[in-house]
């Protein structure tokens, strides 16, 4: 689109972007055009060519590095300096040596980030479980490919995958690896793109291969019969949740709780932690425990130190005399990253398009991909054998009358005429004649002739078998299954992450020693939360808010107040004010979806503070129904952080209102009608997902748009809309203030 030149000041057109042209003239263009031209290609490039893994389990940076090492002969050869590998990789990946080396470090065995490392390392490659253990420079370390990489490159030279030119067209590189096992699920992979992300956890190789074989044989195969859950490189205990696992298997989204492994040294009165969740590090755990000790929340610990060495990870916690180690660990599991949640998001590129898939669908996609690789390999070998058979057919005709062939060659005056004369004399084509003309004189004996004839028979048999294989998909699947069984036999290893089952005793809340003091709580429409002490609030100025944001809820409470954050996905996240730091009015506050680890498409809808779970939650829906739910329905005996089915999702939610006792509530519909009723007219239902009762009768196409609690002054002002029975249609609202403009 040609750029529009204008002398109008920039301020007069806020939706346009201005820049200085070469002539010094101000050129203006719509900001949307700038985004499409400049930002969109970048976003697509990050998604497709950088951040998300593909069905072979690799991102482009991984693939370029490993293929370079393969071409350098590092699959079977000796180790070479990492700096040499990095330099060679820059022929395919020109984004800087540091980025390449960072990639190699994560793929190396020494880093311990992967369940099945691809790079055999020598030297200091750091540790994935430590933030401060830095890896050595590439000039000091050495590397080669691990034996399992043979399964990544098997038959890569037989046109099993496509090759594309590198960035300067000097060489070519594969678009995918023809990996013989579902590598995408065997090693963990994480990537952050533009507007989307991927987080694939690792599974046990043997279990995944067996699940793939089961699905190939039977599309209705139950994966959970062989795959119980993820298997993390660092081990730990997975708190088994069958429903959540099935959700991950089916949708590719879900959360896995991982708990650290420990043992108690009675002689030294010391807890030794030897395995931690993959989402944390030694330093994060130490920092959190030290913080809790300083705040007086954990008083049973004398000292904590990092004793990790060449034998592996170890965090030692010295206990005070008389401390119950198991009770302390339950407390630390609840308050520190010693127990953490791994959020799964299996977002994978399929044919260049990102797609979130469950384990079932991923294995189905991988099987289709691998079937294509095997078919291409068989076709490649078939073509080679056909070409060779074609040459032998020509040779067969010659061998039937060698004397004639010798005579033709001897009587030909010019060398260039030998091939044409053989073609004419025996009725063969040019390729066959060229092959015959190159046969050495020593081969014109009986043994050679017999061998060629037998080779022809074997080739004919092989070609028939290959053609049958290409025409029968079951035979292709048999090849895939046999390769998977071979991988299991060669590379399977025992499961590292074990399972434990939650119970009420493990999840029970330990003695609460949280400090209690008065606080003011503020919650905004955009989902930001602040906890400010009264003294700090008196000394503060204006509240800092995000542009366009406003205070939704402001209450006086205490540091032990429990907070219920309801989301637009009919869930409620439970926490306490103590989990948020004290802050000031001059800061924006904590963003609740990030703080409480909401799912990627989940937003906070309302906040309800409570100390005793008394009162009711009034849920107003667009269809005119209103539910009255006792707040006690959200109280749990165990320390559960998230509850599903927090309210009915049959109709979109308009408003969640907390009332200590009955209150007068106003509803306004999209047709401009208004009704006011007292919540005493609605009977409470203990079921959180109750659909409620009809309080406003709506005509076709109408819906409830606004709801709020009236003050006594408002009730007196709008008394004409008050009703004593529900449901009602209501009256046309006139002179009613916008409830969104009311102050709290």
Q: Indicate which residues carry an active-site annotation.
A: 140
Distance CA(136)–CA(75), nearest Å, equals 23
DSSP letters for 665-712: EEEEETTSEEEEEEGGGS---S-TT---EE-B---TT--EEEEEEPPH
Distance CA(345)–CA(659), nearest Å, equals 38
The residue whose two tokens read 């203030």 is 737
Angle (CA) 121-122-125 rounded to 5° is: 70
DSSP letters for 236-268: -EEE--HHHHHHHHHHSEEEEEEE-EEEEETTT
Distance CA(492)–CA(151), nearest Å, equals 13
- Dihedral pair phi/psi, residue 656, rounded to 5°: -115, 125
Cβ atoms of 418 and 438 within 8 Å: the answer is no
Helix (H, G, I), strand (E, B) or coil at 653: strand
Cβ atoms of 452 and 396 within 8 Å: the answer is yes
Cβ atoms of 243 and 257 within 8 Å: the answer is no
> What are the C-alpha distances in Å from 296 to residues 291, 322, 329, 583?
9, 18, 16, 19
Helix (H, G, I), strand (E, B) or coil at 628: strand
Distance CA(605)–CA(570), nearest Å, equals 9
The residue whose two tokens read 């906890």 is 531
Distance CA(611)–CA(614), nearest Å, equals 8
The residue whose two tokens read 């100390």 is 611
Element (H, E) at 144: strand 142-145
How many Cβ atoms sit within 10 Å of the Cβ of residue 683? 8
DSSP letters for 498-560: EEE---HHHHSPPP------EEEEEEETTSEEEEE-HHHHHH--SPP--TT--EEEEEEEETT
> And the tokens for 470?
């290409």
DSSP 118: S
Cβ atoms of 463 and 392 within 8 Å: the answer is no
Cβ atoms of 627 and 683 within 8 Å: the answer is no
Range 83-108 burial, b when 16+ CB lie within 10 A, else e: bebbebbebbbeeeeeebbebbbbbb
Sign of CA dihedral 153, 159, 162, 163: positive
Walk across the sheet containing 4-5 and list its strands: 4-5, 26-30, 16-20
Closest CA to 376 of 469, 488, 439: 469
DSSP letters for 481-493: HHHHHHHHHHH--
Cβ atoms of 62 and 173 within 8 Å: the answer is no
Distance CA(469)–CA(182), nearest Å, equals 22
Angle (CA) 199-204-206 rounded to 5° is: 140
> And the tokens for 450?
């017999």
DSSP 50: I
Closest CA to 238 of 247, 229, 246, 227: 229
């Amino acid at each position: 689109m040609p750029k529009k030149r204008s002398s109008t000041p920039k301020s007069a057109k806020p939706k346009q972007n201005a820049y200085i042209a070469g002539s010094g003239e101000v050129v203006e263009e719509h900001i949307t055009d700038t985004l499409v031209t400049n930002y969109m290609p970048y976003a697509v490039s990050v998604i497709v060519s950088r951040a998300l893994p593909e069905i072979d389990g690799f991102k482009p940076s991984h693939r370029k590095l490993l293929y370079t090492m393969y071409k350098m002969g590092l699959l079977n050869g000796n180790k070479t300096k990492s700096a040499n590998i990095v330099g060679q990789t820059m022929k395919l990946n020109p984004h800087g040596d540091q980025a390449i080396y960072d990639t190699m470090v994560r793929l190396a065995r020494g880093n311990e980030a992967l369940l099945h490392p691809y790079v055999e390392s020598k030297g200091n490659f750091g540790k994935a479980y430590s933030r401060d253990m830095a890896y050595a420079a590439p000039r000091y370390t050495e590397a080669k490919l691990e034996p399992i990489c043979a399964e990544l490159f098997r038959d890569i030279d037989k046109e099993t995958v496509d090759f594309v030119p590198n960035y300067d067209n000097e060489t070519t590189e594969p678009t995918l690896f023809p990996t013989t096992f579902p590598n995408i699920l065997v090693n963990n992979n994480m990537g952050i793109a533009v507007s989307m992300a991927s987080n694939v956890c690792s599974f046990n190789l043997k279990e995944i291969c067996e699940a793939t074989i089961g699905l190939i044989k039977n599309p209705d195969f139950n994966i959970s019969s062989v795959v119980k859950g993820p298997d993390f490189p660092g081990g730990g205990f997975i708190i088994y949740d069958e429903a959540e696992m099935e959700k991950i298997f089916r949708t590719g989204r879900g959360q896995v709780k991982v708990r650290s492994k420990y043992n108690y040294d009675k002689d030294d009165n010391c807890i030794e932690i030897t395995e931690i969740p993959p989402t944390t590090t030694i330093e994060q755990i130490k920092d959190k425990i030290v913080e809790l000790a300083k705040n007086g929340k954990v008083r049973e610990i004398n000292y904590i130190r990092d004793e990790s060495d060449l034998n592996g990870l170890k965090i030692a916690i010295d206990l005070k005399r008389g401390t119950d180690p198991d009770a302390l660990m339950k407390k630390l599991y609840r308050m520190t990253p010693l127990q953490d949640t791994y959020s799964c998001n299996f977002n994978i590129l399929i044919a260049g398009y990102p797609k979130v898939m469950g384990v079932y669908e991923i294995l189905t996609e991988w099987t289709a991909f691998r079937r294509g690789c095997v078919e291409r390999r068989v076709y490649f070998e078939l073509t080679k054998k056909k070409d060779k058979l074609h040459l032998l057919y020509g040779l067969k005709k010659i061998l039937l009358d060698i004397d004639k062939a010798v005579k033709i060659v001897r009587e030909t005056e010019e060398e260039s005429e030998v091939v044409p004369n053989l073609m004419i004399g025996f009725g063969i084509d040019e390729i066959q004649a060229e092959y015959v003309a190159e046969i050495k004189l020593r081969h014109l004996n009986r043994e050679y002739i017999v061998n060629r004839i037998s080779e022809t028979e074997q080739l004919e048999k092989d070609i028939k078998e290959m053609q049958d294989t290409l025409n029968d998909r079951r035979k292709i699947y048999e090849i895939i299954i046999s390769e998977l069984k071979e991988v299991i036999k060669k590379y399977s290893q025992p499961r590292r992450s074990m399972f434990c089952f939650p119970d009420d005793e493990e999840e029970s809340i330990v003695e609460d020693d949280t400090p209690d003091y008065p606080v003011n709580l503020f919650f905004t429409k955009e989902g930001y939360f602040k906890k400010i002490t009264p003294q700090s609030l008196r000394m503060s100025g204006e509240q800092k808010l995000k542009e366009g944001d406003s205070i939704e809820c402001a209450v006086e409470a205490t540091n032990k107040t429990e907070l219920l954050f309801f989301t637009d996905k009919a869930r409620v996240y439970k926490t306490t004010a103590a989990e948020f730091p004290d802050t000031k009015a001059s800061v924006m506050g904590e963003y609740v979806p990030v703080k409480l680890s909401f799912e990627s498409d989940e937003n906070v809808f309302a906040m309800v503070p409570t100390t005793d779970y008394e009162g009711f939650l009034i849920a107003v829906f667009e269809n005119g129904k209103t539910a009255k739910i006792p707040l006690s329905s959200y109280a749990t005996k165990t320390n559960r952080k998230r509850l599903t089915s927090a309210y009915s999702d049959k109709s979109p939610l308009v408003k969640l209102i907390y009332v200590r006792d009955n209150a007068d509530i106003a509803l306004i519909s999209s047709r401009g009608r208004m009704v006011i009723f007292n919540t005493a007219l609605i009977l409470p239902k203990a079921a959180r997902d109750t659909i409620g009762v009809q309080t406003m009768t709506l005509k076709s196409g109408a819906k409830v748009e606004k709801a709020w609690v009236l003050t006594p002054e408002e009730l007196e002002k709008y008394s004409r809309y008050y009703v004593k029975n529900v449901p009602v249609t209501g009256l046309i609202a006139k002179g009613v203030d916008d409830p969104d403009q009311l102050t709290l």
